[in-house]
Amino acid sequence: MHRVLATLLLTAIAVPGILAPQAAAKLPKSTLSDAAAMDLPEVPEIRLLELNPKMAKFLLKHVQAKQPRKVQLNALLDAIFSKKGLNIRYGNTYTKTAAETFDSRSGNCLSFTVFFVAMARHLGLNAYFKEVTEVTSRDLRGETLLANHHMFAEVELDNGIAVVDFLPGTDKRYIEVRRIDDDRALAHMYNNLGAERLADGETELSIKYFDRALEVDDELLPAWVNRGVAQRRLTRYDEAERSYLKALELDRKDASVITNLAGLYLAQGRREEAHPLMARAAAYLQDNPYHHYRLGAEAIRSGNADLAIQQLKEASRRDPGEALFDASLADAYLAAGDLTRARQALRRALRNADEEELRGRLEEKLAGLPEEG
């Protein structure tokens, strides 16, 4: 996952920018003092898609050359996930390079996607990165709230596109997805590593990683936001404001930018400037049906059926044609013991479901409901 940070005083929901990468950025003068800069380690040069000899040997053993693309893809996936192969498992931990993911047999979605694309391209497959704009989960690490976004891969086959998505336990229905180039994926890698260092308290060092991300792609909005969070944590308020304002230029509706900037203004006593920003952020979230869907799904997991019903009904009201909302609403009604409304919600979801797999699951769930006495 690629990460955007918010201080704990804020409730930021961050969405990465989706503009095309630019040439190396002309960044503001370094925020580090000369003494601090001398004491910090250098940011390592990451060769995003480089395979080591062990990885190349693994592919030679498990995937036959000169086979149809679909055959090669299936062989690669089997080699990655089967117990006879790497048996790779999802782990929402630190971001790793392709070689580190291979050695550890685990990785988060960004680590895995980089690893998979590197392996697929070595085989001659046309594999690419796909960037999801919405927040898929949140983590609390120390005093930092991490808003996690998502990345997955796609592979061009002779008769279509295959999606390889490593995020477990999620209905793969995303609001907006873009294919991105390798430079932007590399920038996400540096941004993730910076976010992790900031969460671990290495604030000065994190800024060097965010700067490196912006040298690769100066329109990567999460890196500007994270840079501002780090600068604010160091009480470098003027520098933080410049970073947030740059992010705001990239997306004037991004809730994380708006709430972080509002929080900065509040910390400086600039309440008249902060309040309109806070109102804007709240309005954007309330208008987003997927925001209510996520809150509803979280409420189901936490056992609060009444709150889940409230949020999922709001999501469905704002987008009545989305089958996923009614399917989840049915789960909430079942948790509340309301079989009648659960059955009604499932039938609405079935009417709107376009995907055969989803329709099959809904039909199975509807047929499995007990008869009402």
Q: Quick: pLDDT tens for 255-264.
A: 788 988 998 9
15 versus 5: the higher-pLDDT residue is: 5
- How confident is the model over 176-209, as pLDDT tens digits? 788 999 999 999 999 999 988 998 899 999 999 9
Beta-carbon contacts of residue 76 (< 8 Å; ≥ 6 apart): 59, 62, 63, 116, 119, 120, 123, 125
Residue identified by tokens 């997927």 is 290
124: left (phi over 0), alpha (psi -120 to 50) or beta: left
Do 3-22+33-261 and 289-367 show the same overall fold?
A: yes
191 versus 1: the higher-pLDDT residue is: 191
pLDDT at 169: 52
Average pLDDT, the chain: 83
- How confident is the model over 219-275, as pLDDT tens digits? 999 999 999 999 999 999 999 999 999 999 999 888 788 988 998 998 899 999 998
Residue 29 pLDDT class (50, 70, 90 cuts): very low
Span 90-104, average pLDDT: 86
- The architecture in CATH of the region 289-367 reads Alpha Horseshoe (1.25)
Q: Which CATH class is domain 3-22+33-261?
A: mainly alpha
Say if residues 26 and 234 touch (Cβ distance below 8 Å). Answer: no
Say if residues 260 and 286 touch (Cβ distance below 8 Å). Answer: no
Kindly tell me the sign of the dihedral angle through the C-alpha atoms of 250, 256, 262, 263: negative
The phi and psi torsions of 252 (rounded to 5 degrees) equal: -75, -10
pLDDT at 40: 82
Residue 291 pLDDT class (50, 70, 90 cuts): confident
What is the spatial distance between Cα 302 and Cα 308, in angstroms, rounded to a whole number? Answer: 9
283 versus 111: the higher-pLDDT residue is: 111
Question: Domain extents for the chain?
Answer: 3-22+33-261, 289-367
